[in-house]
Amino acid sequence: MRVRGTDSRGAALWNRLLALGLWLLAIALAQPTPNTPPPDLSPRVFEIARALRCPVCQGESAAESNAGIAVEMRRIIAEQLAEGKSEAEIRQFFVQRYGDWILYEPPARGLTLWVWLSPLIGLGLLSFGLWRYLSRVKAQAKAPLNDVSEEEITRLEAELNTERSS
């Protein structure tokens, strides 16, 4: 990962990350319930955590889940906020460890750009379909009114026949 600041600070951070990784692994494997109170969390922590996926959960964000790893993520966010990091930096921290997958909001580039364009695409496709449909209707309206299609005649004949036979 990219390390900011002086070397010693970077190394300290690196060591802490390593320890943290082991800790997260231990939690994910065993899910112990340590008898120490979790840290107090400010509203800001939850706002940031809400945009992050809880990696071991099924469709829950890091703000909602009670899984050990989500609890730990909230703790990391609180710590980094206390260190004065910005929301973008904290997000970046998690993206570097887990990839874009951790973000519930897909980045507006590459393949996920299409999702952001989907409202325009959907509206465009449907409007185009509607426009074609309406222009067909217009053409139909101009056609002579006594135009009875062949299918309609066969259908009517078939129905008359069944009525007679049944």
Q: Which residues contribute to the site for another protein (CB under 8 A)?
A: 31, 33, 35, 37-43, 45-47, 50-51, 53, 57-61, 63-64, 66-67, 74, 99-106, 111-112, 114-116, 118-119, 121-123, 125-127, 130, 133-134, 137-138, 140-141, 149, 151-152, 155, 159, 162, 165-166
CA distance 61 to 133: 43
CB nearer to another protein: give 7 or 148.
148
Q: What is the SS3 assignment for 124?
A: helix
CB nearer to another protein: give 9 or 155.
155
CB 48 within 8 A of CB 91: yes
Q: Cβ-count burial of 64 within 10 angstroms (0-12 exposed, 13-18 middle, 19+ buried)?
A: middle
Smallest gap from residue 102 Cβ to another protein (A): 7
Smallest gap from residue 118 Cβ to another protein (A): 5
| Closest C-alpha to 63, from 43, 38, 46, 81 | 46
CB nearer to another protein: give 13 or 57.
57
DSSP class of residue 53? Answer: B
